[in-house]
């Protein structure tokens, strides 16, 4: 079934795009939610997310999982991919990066509910996992486990 809602003409979707120089320079595109009457969950997983350690400048790696219940808009996936990619040259602690991504999406998209899990690979021998959400999920929303195991090393 096709969606009759026309998409805004200024989307990055379907156009050549370059990786934004920074998260602040990245533009997130939002389109009308095609199912405003339904309560449902959208999940994005970014298993190869990278940013930089603000102290050493070395790369940090994470598996991000973003779950949200849309309200009037949904985030367009190409713009989200470019936004997440813009962190490759961004220095930030795991907590600031994970929570900041969630807060920006909430501020701009205004979903009914959002949570983000940042499953970071070890830095200094200690894995750091960061979780943030806007509050309790709406009644009746199916919220599956994020499906990412805690870091277990090689063993």
Question: What CATH number did the domain enclosing 59 receive?
Answer: 3.30.1130.10
Whole-angstrom Cα distance, residue 26 to residue 23? 5
| Residue 100 pLDDT greater than 80, yes or no | yes
Q: Please tell me the predicted confidence (pLDDT) of residue 10.
A: 75
Q: Is residue 152 part of a domain?
A: no
3 is catalytic: no
What would the mean pLDDT of 107-129 be, rounded to a whole number? Answer: 94
Classify 136 as helix, strand or coil.
coil
β-pairing, 30-32 vs 42-52, is unpaired
- The average confidence (pLDDT) of the chain is 92
Q: Which of 10, 53, 129, 139 is catalytic?
A: 53
53 is catalytic: yes
The Cα-based distances of 93 to 15, 59, 112 in angstroms read: 32, 11, 27
Per the structure block, which two tokens stand in for 13?
Answer: 């979707």
Q: Is residue 1 part of a domain?
A: no
Q: Is residue 71 part of a domain?
A: yes
pTM value > 0.95: no
Number of domains observed in the structure of the chain: 1
Q: Is residue 142 part of a domain?
A: no
| Residue 4 pLDDT greater than 70, yes or no | no
DSSP tag of 7: P
Classify 40 as helix, strand or coil.
coil
Q: What is the largest CA-CA distance in the chain?
A: 51
Q: Which of 60, 71, 139, 145 is catalytic?
A: 60
What pLDDT band is residue 39 in, cutting at 50, 70 and 90?
very high
- Alpha-helical (H) ranges within 48-137 are 77-85, 94-109
Domain that holds residue 96: 36-133
């Amino acid at each position: 079934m096709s969606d009759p809602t026309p998409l805004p003409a200024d989307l990055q979707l379907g156009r050549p795009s370059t990786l934004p120089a920074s998260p602040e320079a990245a533009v997130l595109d939002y389109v009308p939610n095609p199912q405003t009457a339904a309560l449902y969950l959208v999940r994005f997983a970014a298993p190869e997310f990278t940013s930089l350690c603000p102290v050493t400048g070395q790369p940090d790696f994470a598996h991000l999982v973003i779950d949200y219940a849309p309200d009037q808009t949904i985030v367009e996936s190409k713009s989200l991919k470019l936004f997440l990619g813009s962190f490759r040259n961004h220095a930030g602690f795991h907590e600031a990066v994970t929570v900041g991504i969630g807060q920006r999406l909430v501020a701009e998209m205004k979903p009914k509910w959002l949570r983000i899990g940042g499953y970071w690979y070890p830095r200094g021998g200690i894995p750091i996992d960061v979780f943030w959400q806007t509050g309790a999920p709406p009644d009746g929303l199916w919220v599956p486990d994020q499906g990412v195991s805690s870091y277990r090393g090689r063993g």
